[in-house]
Structures are given as C-alpha cells and as structure tokens.
Structure 1
Amino acid sequence: MKKQRDPGLITIVLYHSFVASILTVTSIALLFALKNHQVLEKFAASYLLKSQVKIVEFLLDPVLSITPQTLLFSGLATGLYAILTVSRYLS
C-alpha cells in the first residue's frame, strides 16, 4: 500500500522549488548583465534611444549603476543560494 503524502508538505516543496527557479533565473540575468555591462553602457548612450530616455532610465540605469564586482558577487551568491535551496529537498 502506497503512503499518501501530506498536501502541506507538497505545497512547501513546490514553493521552495519555485523560489529556487526564480533565484536561478535571477542569477543568470545578473551574470549576463555582468558579461554585457560595457555593451549595455554603449546601448544606453546610443543615439537611437535618445527619444526614449524614460524607458532607458527605468530599465538600464539601475543595472548600469551597479559595479561589475557587485554584479558578479550578487550573481554568484544568488546561484549558490538557489543550489542550497534545491539540495535541501533532494537529500
């Protein structure tokens, strides 16, 4: 006879899996921004975006104001935390 799992436990595991996947995506995005930091700076300063300054300020300025060292640390720390979150439930 198969033992039925508690729905609360399933909910907790699903929640933590969701959080780990969001953290993984965030880590990848931060490391991608680090890799392309200079390209993003040139893109933000390009003539094509002068008419859409508000959009650039809203989307790119927060990323460009972060130093590359901070992006690297944040990306690696977020990825490590995602791995620790997942590994807690795999064992």
Structure 2
Amino acid sequence: MANTSQARKRARQSVERNKHNSSLRSMLRTAIKRVNQSIESKDKSTSENILRKATSIIDRIADKGIIHKNKAARHKSRLATSVKNMLLS
C-alpha cells in the first residue's frame, strides 16, 4: 500500500492509464481481426478499405507508445501481404 500522497497519486494515475491503454490495445486487436475476417470473406474492395483504416489505427497506437513501432510495422506488413495475396488469387 502506498504510504505517501505522491505514491497514492501515482497509484491512481497508473490505474487510469492502464484502463486507457487496455482499451487502445483492444481497439488494435479488433482492427486486425476485422481485416482477417474481410480477407476470409474474399471481398476485395472491402478488404482494402478495412486495411486502410486498420493501418491508421495501428500507426496511432504505435505513436502513443502502446506497442513498439517495429511491431506495428510487422502487423501492417503481414496484413497488407495477406490482402495482396487475396487479390492475386
């Protein structure tokens, strides 16, 4: 348990920050799942639009430091490759 007022405040702030970061991480996972679902449905135009939105979300979350920039780049690359392969086949 926190003994000083500063430590109590940090504890309160970390709880709030954790809630906020968790919601952002959830938004990231949902965006990735939506792209994968659109790829499975084999709808080309929808997949491209959803990929564009997901890329924006991934970049925003990486800029805030919720995930590392390399992890964001890896997600975007894999999703783009999946959409591209779907379009070719």
* TM-score calculated relative to the size of structure 1: 0.48
* TM-score calculated relative to the size of structure 2: 0.49
| Larger RCO: 1 or 2 (CA < 8 Å, sep 6+) | 1
**Larger Rg, first or second structure (1 or 2):** 1
